[in-house]
Structure 1
C-alpha cells in the first residue's frame, strides 16, 4: 500500500518523492516537513523494501505510479532492507539516476561506508529529538528541492 501526500502550492512541475520508511512516527514527521513547503511536491510513502521496488518498477497496484525524482530511504526495513533496495536501484539502468538519500537512525561507520559504496547520494542520521528531526527534514527539503538540479528522466 502507498500513501500519497501533496502540498497545495501551484507550480509548473511537481517534484515526486518516494519515502521508504517503516516507522509511522518518522514517516509522519517527514511528511509534515515536505507538505508544509512552498515547493510543489507529491510525497508517496511505502513501508518496506519490497513495496518500494514494486513502486519503482510500476508493478501491480503501482502500474500508474509516477517515477520519483528523489527517494528517501531508511536502511532498517523489514524483509528487503534499505541496503538491498539501494543496491537494486543503483544497479538498474532505468533507476540508477534517481537520487537516493539514506535517512536512518544508524550511525554505524560500516553502514555509512557501505551506503556510499553502493552509490547513495547522501547519508543522513535521524536525530532522536523531534525538533531536531524536523530541522533535518527541512535541510533535506531545502537542499534537494531548492538547491539541486535533479536529473531528467532517462
Structure 2
C-alpha cells in the first residue's frame, strides 16, 4: 500500500533528552523512502514552545507526528502529553511515546492522557533501530495522518 502522504513532507517533532538516542532516531528517519523532516528538542518546555510556535520557534513547521520521551528534564513527557492533548490546536497530532520506562503505571497514564502509541526503547542498539524503523514504516507509510 502506498501512502497518500508520499506527496508531502512529514514533519516530526522528536522530544528526547538523550543525544545518542536522538542521533540514532534521526539517522533512521533519514533512511526513509518517505520525505520527512525531523525536528529535535531536548525538553518539554521547548516541545510546547515549538508546537505553539513561540519564541525561537515562531517559524517552526507544523507537526504531523510527535515522538515523545517521558523522562525529560523540567516538564516531563506526561506533562507534555497532557498539554498537547488538552490544546484544541494540537490534540489531533498523533503522539508516540518512545521511552525507557516499561512501568505499567507509565503505560496506563500515557494512554489515559490519550497517547496514540506507547513503545519501550530496547537497550540493544540494533533492536532500538528496529523499533525506530517500525515507527517509520507504520506512522509514515501505513497511517494516514491528519492534515496540518
Fold in common (TM above 0.5): yes
Structure 1 partner of 2:119: 124
Structure 2: 5+ residue stretches without partners? 1-5
**Higher helix fraction: Structure 1 or Structure 2?**
2
Higher relative contact order (CA 8 A, sep 6+): 2
The CA RMSD over aligned residues, in Å, is: 0.7
Structure 1 partner of 2:142: 147
Residue 42 of structure 1 is aligned with which of 37, 45, 54? 37
Structure 2 partner of 1:4: none
Structure 1: 5+ residue stretches without partners? 1-10
Structure 2 partner of 1:109: 104
SS in 2 for 1:128: coil
Q: Distance in 2 between matches of 1:30 and 1:12?
A: 23
Structure 2 partner of 1:94: 89
Residue 18 of structure 2 is aligned with which of 1, 19, 23? 23
Q: Distance in 2 between matches of 1:66 and 1:24?
A: 22
Give runs of ≥4 in structure 1 deviating > 2 Å: none
Offset of residue 77 of structure 1: 0.1
Offset of residue 12 of structure 1: 3.0
Aligned residue-pair number: 143
1:138 equivalenced with 2:129 (yes/no): no
Q: Distance in 1 between matches of 2:143 and 2:32?
A: 16
Q: Distance in 1 between matches of 2:18 and 2:33?
A: 26
The normalised TM-score by structure 1 is 0.91
The normalised TM-score by structure 2 is 0.95
Q: Distance in 2 between matches of 1:64 and 1:26?
A: 26
Q: Distance in 1 between matches of 2:78 and 2:93?
A: 16
Offset of residue 128 of structure 1: 0.0
